Amino acid sequence: MDSKRIGIMGGTFDPIHFGHLVIANEVLDQYHMEKIIFIPAGNPPHKKDSKASSIDRYIMTNLATLSNDKFEVSNIELIKKEKSYTINTLLVLREIYKDAEIYFITGADAIIELPNWYEFKSIIKLCKFIAVTRPDYNTHEIKEKIQSIIDIYQGQIELLKVPMLQISSTEIRNRIKNNRTAKYLLPEVVEQYIVKNNLYGDNNE
């Protein structure tokens, strides 16, 4: 019997939007995944603090994924006091999903940085990567990069073209800060949560 496939959507999700959800759904469908686990980053090792609190990002991710029973949200990185590295998350997931194939979903642009991730040599043995990109993206350069990483580290990195919407969390935060609408860029319930809790206003930047 084929082993189960689990997709991991790691990200800051500050806030989560339809771009993330479209990517997750496309991977779920094309790879016949058992489920996709969204893992909001706690204290990203490689950058400054997020704009919304961990708990707000966790709640928004839950609200956004509520209607899909194949989407799950994990607080594994949020509950950590220390910095959360992907290697530690994968080691825990490997214990839970012993026989599953674990796919880490990331933007294609991030692939270039992969070898710089903490303990990348071990990471690539614990999971496969799916690098998502827009259909119109020039993939030649990224394919070469992927091949060079595979040549060195022997892992599996696949490029997947997704009808990814041009939505970004930064754009949404800027719109909200400037009292502009973010309607149709993210689930309505997440937008309501942002408004109700006054996230991303002047005082939060």
Among 3, 30, 118, 152, binds ligand NAP (CB under 6 A): 118
Residue written as token pair 């509520």: 66
Binds ligand NAP by CB under 6 A, chosen from 31, 58, 85, 200: 85
Query: Shortest CA distance to 30 belongs to which of 142, 97, 105?
Result: 105
Q: How far is the CB of 169 from ligand NAP (least distance, A)?
A: 4
Q: Which one-letter amino acid corresponds to residue 185?
A: L
Residue that is written with structure tokens 């910095």 in the block: 83
The residue within the footprint of ligand NAP, chosen from 3, 147, 168, 198 (CB under 6 A), is 168
Q: Which stretch binds ligand NAP (CB under 6 A): 43-51, 95-103, 143-151, 185-193?
A: 43-51
Strand partners, 130: 105, 158
Return the amino acid letter for 162. Answer: V
Mention every residue, 6+ apart, whose C-beta is less than 8 A from residue 50.
Answer: 12, 14, 41, 44, 57
Residue 155 found at the interface with ligand NAP (CB under 6 A) = no
Give the residue, chosen from 86, 90, 142, 193, that forms a contact with ligand NAP under the rule CB under 6 A: 86
**Four-CA torsion 159, 102, 20, 146, nearest 10 degrees:** -20
- Residue 45 in contact with ligand NAP, rule: CB under 6 A: yes
Measured over the CA atoms of residue 166, residue 59, residue 53 and residue 41, the dihedral's sign is negative
- Among 18, 44, 97, 145, the residue binding ligand NAP under the rule CB under 6 A is 44
Stretch that binds ligand NAP, among 59-67, 94-102, 105-113, 153-161 (CB under 6 A): 105-113
Please give the residue ranges that form the binding site for ligand NAP (CB under 6 A): 9-12, 19, 23, 39, 41, 44-46, 85-86, 105-107, 110, 117-118, 132, 168-170
